[in-house]
Amino acid sequence: MHIDKLKNLIQSTHINFLFGSGLSCPYLTTLTNIEIWLTESNKIADETLRYLIQDILFIKYVKDVMKPCLPQYRTNKDSLTIVENAYENFLSIWNYVMSRRSSNLLNKQVNIFTTNIDPFVEEAAERLRIEFNNGFKGLLTPVLREESFSTIMAKVSPLYQNQSQIPVFNYLKIHGSINWMTTEDNEITYDSQLNCLNTIVQAIENYPKDYRCVELAEEELEKENEGKDEESQEALSFKLIEDKAKQCIEKGKFEVTDKMQAFREVYSKLVMVNPRKKQVSRNRVRPSLL
């Protein structure tokens, strides 16, 4: 595209981006088959089997995608730096571009819609000290207010009182986030310290090891695949997980323990749309408000 045409396009249109899970690679893995497996689990008629499989799939989801976001578990520094630099470069470039927008008809907002639940874009914006709107209002207890995405910001010259708009990034997490949690009043608050996620990780540590079907299936596969070339190795499948879950239940009298229930309760406090291969029925933030 010719540079002048690109300039005119930026000057005359609203700027919107959609971020998917691949943007946080290589640090975070994508969901791979978890979406499909969770969808498959809904078809299981046996309630006990269904809930056990969903439990251990949520545990795998937390360990693969959420847990690495906690500061104490950020061990792969090289891949994390790649992701952080990519987000910082993106925000810096568009902050510069929007600061030079001369149109009087359009504001200097950049809208970023994302299905990601990690905090890396927010952290990049914090390091850059740019104007970043994640939809939360309040100092002591920030609460999500969707109308805040309609806010524009301006600075005033101290000498002549001239006013000029400042570039603002609106960041809409349409599937929720690991740093969102619900209150008793059913409001969405900002969990900047990731306390809820820390509690979930602790609950996973306490979850009965005899019922961790995915881990048991992975251990079994590792032994079976030992010595085989990559093409001959068997991959983890939903049937294998389901069979392993059935074995766990049939070994003895199965009952939901307090530790299993504790995981379910704390996991439910996260404000997220759980991954499934179907259109979600309820988005956390409605893009139509912009």
Tens-digit pLDDT profile for residues 93-127: 999 999 988 877 888 999 999 999 999 999 999 99
By CB atoms closer than 10 A (0-12, 13-18, 19+), residue 55 is buried
What's the average model confidence in pLDDT over 225-230?
82
Beta-carbon contacts of 84 under 8 Å, excluding residues fewer than 6 positions away, are 120, 123, 124
- The reported pLDDT for the residue numbered 278 is 52
- The reported pLDDT for the residue numbered 52 is 92
Q: What are phi and psi of 138, to 5 degrees?
A: 120, 145
- The reported pLDDT for the residue numbered 146 is 84
Tens-digit pLDDT profile for residues 158-199: 776 777 889 999 999 999 999 999 888 888 999 999 999 999
What's the token pair of residue 110? Answer: 């950049």
Which residue has better confidence, 215 or 85?
85
Q: What are phi and psi of 190, to 5 degrees?
A: -95, 120
Distance CA 132, CA 172 (A): 11
Using 50, 70 and 90 to split pLDDT, how confident is the model at 276?
low
| DSSP letter, residue 39 | H
Which residue has better confidence, 252 or 217?
217
Using 50, 70 and 90 to split pLDDT, how confident is the model at 131?
very high
Using 50, 70 and 90 to split pLDDT, how confident is the model at 1?
low
Average pLDDT, the chain: 87
Specify the residue for token string 């996973």: 204
**Does 285 score more than 60 pLDDT?**
no
- The reported pLDDT for the residue numbered 141 is 87
Strand order in the sheet with 168-173: 15-19, 109-114, 168-173, 132-133
Tens-digit pLDDT profile for residues 239-262: 989 998 998 888 766 777 898 999
Using 50, 70 and 90 to split pLDDT, how confident is the model at 289?
very low
Tens-digit pLDDT profile for residues 22-77: 899 999 988 778 888 999 999 999 998 999 999 999 999 999 999 999 999 998 99
- The reported pLDDT for the residue numbered 281 is 40
What is the residue-wise DSSP string for 51-64? HHHHHHHHHHHIII
